[in-house]
Structure 1
Amino acid sequence: MWLVVVNDEEQYSIWADASPLPAGWRPAGFQGEREACLEHIEQVWTDMRPKRVRA
């Protein structure tokens, strides 16, 4: 299983569910198989610029 994770710049990634999250990343509220997580990211991460650049 995989987790969708997000950082403070609202950039997304996936992370193995069994591994501790790296500093600066938090769960984004979705988990599942790798492909399902990647599809979820594709749907929700529509602007890939970091948050500080969008502001």
Structure 2
Amino acid sequence: MSTESAVRRYVVVRNDEEQYSIWPVGRALPPGWHDQGFSGPKDECLGHIRRVWTDLRPRTLRELAGS
């Protein structure tokens, strides 16, 4: 891992379909994505996403399936 990627910080974001991603801290979020209040190094953000995003189906598909 490079020194630059070790110190770069990200924020966990989620879209209206409840899909998660990370975004560099300080950059404007793309339309439709919302800050989830968790930030840190890339590995920590990805670990947080693994813990909270347990059903990878988009929200509308889950609603159609009734779960």
Which of the five TM-score ranges fits, normalised by the shorter chain? Answer: over 0.9
Work out which of the two has the higher radius of gyration on C-alpha atoms and give 1 or 2: 2
Coordinate RMSD, CA, aligned: 0.5
> Structure 1 segments of 4 or more deviating over 3 A?
none
Count of aligned pairs between the two proteins? 55
Bigger proportion of residues as helix: 2
Instruction: Letter of the 2:50 partner, please give it.
Output: E
Structure 2 length normalisation: TM-score? 0.80
Counting aligned pairs with the same residue, the percent is: 53
Of structures 1 and 2, the one scoring higher in RCO (CA 8 A, sep 6+) is: 1
Gaps of 5+ in 2: 1-8
TM-score normalised over the length of structure 1:
0.97
